[in-house]
Structure 1
Amino acid sequence: MQKDAYTLILEAIDAGVYKPGSRLVESELAERLGVSRTPVREALQRLETQAMLTRDGRSLIVASLDHNQLAELYAVRTELEGLAARLAARHASDEELRVLRSMVEDDRSLLGGDPRALSRANKRFHKQIHLASHNRFLVQQLDLVHRSMALMASTSFAAEGRDEVAMGEHDAIVRALESHDGDAAYGATKTHISRAFETRLRVDAGELKVR
């Protein structure tokens, strides 16, 4: 199925093609995406309504998150991700658990590599847990949260040493899921998200080096 202009622009923001502060020009986007200007204009209006884009004079730019918005986003994400893990511990099929286990093992090959590749692997991992919760309304809310996370200028995986620690946290989450221990899965996930937020704050404060 062919993706529409809205999805393509959103994916480009998520992939870091357009970073916070990047100016989006209707004519340039239409040419780049190979579509007419009308669907691009409609997509930009929709993204502005969703606060993914903001006005800078007459121009539309990719929005950014200030400290308070970041804290608010992580507060919501921590609880929703924890709930998804708790439900996945109860509802995940054996096949879904095997997929999660293979992700943990395969992603170890990315350690020390490109932070963006690790970030993409991390998103796949969490998305799989969302789906394993078997709750469509929760998945929808988490999709909104993760869409807003594209407005962060960098990934916490760029921080020195974060990748190896995060992989260990993923392993702890999957072990709890494999044991069908909802409380442990909830706790391990909240710890994982909390540490990611702490890492991001330390990077922003200049306490941690980034690769």
Structure 2
Amino acid sequence: MEINIVQPLYQQAYREFKKLILTGQISPGEKIVMSKLAEQYNISRTPLREALRQLQTEGLIVQDHTSMKVVELNKTDFLELFHCRLLLEKEVIRMIVEEITEAKLEKVYEVLMESNDAIEVGDSFKILELNTQFHELLIMSCSNYQLAHLLNHVRSLLLIYRANINQKPQYSKEIYHEHLEIYNAIKSRDVERAVEVIEEHLKNDQIRGQSVFE
């Protein structure tokens, strides 16, 4: 892990461990041993504990009364979460079309262009980050805080599934083009088209995600 003197140590550790999980270097279901991580990455317990707490908040790490481990993939959970996401995101997108500013739309477009560049060089972790950022920028434009908060929670739990999807280059291109369609519909202020393309995107994502369990 490269140490950045500007960024707090726990944030550096959080980003590094998140990358290890989402790239499969720490496997689903694998136990997290703090002493081992502290020694391996030469980091003290306090920033390490905070980094793991953040990952736990995102649902990437779970803890019971005996141990802490990386969340395991479960098809039933996946399908239930996607059903929730579809219902929530369709409602959020309706509001976004009318509420998002042109300045925010410019940022969304910049993220799309960065995504395309990351796809060209095959940086799967960067692609995942930018895909996440694409949706977050849109959701932050929703004036209903509680609705946006619920959607973000569901999306964070699905993060490990989306990470597995991003390991396949052909999916990255598909997702990029679907995101571009969503952007164009919102840019045109076409509510019905935006709902149509977000629903198509999420249904395709569910199909892509189910391949993890096959």
**TM superposition score category, shorter chain reference:** 0.7 to 0.9
Using structure 1 for the length normalisation, give the TM-score.
0.77
Please say if 1:71 is aligned against 2:75. no
Q: 1:117 aligns with which of 116, 126, 130?
A: 126
- 1:17-166 correspondence runs (5 A): 17=21, 18-29=26-37, 32=41, 34-36=43-45, 40=49, 47=56, 52-55=61-64, 58-112=66-120, 113-152=122-161, 154-166=163-175
Identify if the C-alpha distance between structure 1 residues 21 and 12 changes in structure 2 by more than 3 Å, giving closer, same or farther.
farther
Kindly state the Cα deviation for residue 168 of structure 1 after the two structures are TM-superposed: 1.1
Kindly state the Cα deviation for residue 9 of structure 1 after the two structures are TM-superposed: 7.2
Kindly state the Cα deviation for residue 141 of structure 1 after the two structures are TM-superposed: 1.4
Confirm or deny: 8 A CA contact 1:23 1:62 kept in the other structure.
yes
Confirm or deny: 8 A CA contact 1:19 1:151 kept in the other structure.
no
Residues in 2 aligned to 1:102 and 1:51: alpha-carbon distance in whole angstroms: 28
Identify if the C-alpha distance between structure 1 residues 14 and 88 changes in structure 2 by more than 3 Å, giving closer, same or farther.
farther
Kindly state the Cα deviation for residue 165 of structure 1 after the two structures are TM-superposed: 1.5
Residue aligned with 1:53, SS: strand
Kindly state the Cα deviation for residue 25 of structure 1 after the two structures are TM-superposed: 1.9
The answer for unaligned runs of 5 or more in structure 1 is 206-211
- Name which of structure 1's ranges 135-144 and 185-194 shifts more when overlaid on structure 2: 135-144
The answer for unaligned runs of 5 or more in structure 2 is 1-5
Residues in 1 aligned to 2:17 and 2:150: alpha-carbon distance in whole angstroms: 19
Identify if the C-alpha distance between structure 1 residues 100 and 4 changes in structure 2 by more than 3 Å, giving closer, same or farther.
same
The percent identity for this pair of structures is 18
Residues in 2 aligned to 1:155 and 1:27: alpha-carbon distance in whole angstroms: 28
Using structure 2 for the length normalisation, give the TM-score.
0.76
Residues in 2 aligned to 1:115 and 1:2: alpha-carbon distance in whole angstroms: 23
Residues in 2 aligned to 1:150 and 1:196: alpha-carbon distance in whole angstroms: 12
CA-atom RMSD, angstroms? Answer: 3.3
Confirm or deny: 8 A CA contact 2:34 2:45 kept in the other structure.
no
- Name which of structure 1's ranges 106-115 and 29-38 shifts more when overlaid on structure 2: 29-38
For 1:209, the equivalent position in structure 2 comes to none
Residues in 2 aligned to 1:196 and 1:144: alpha-carbon distance in whole angstroms: 17
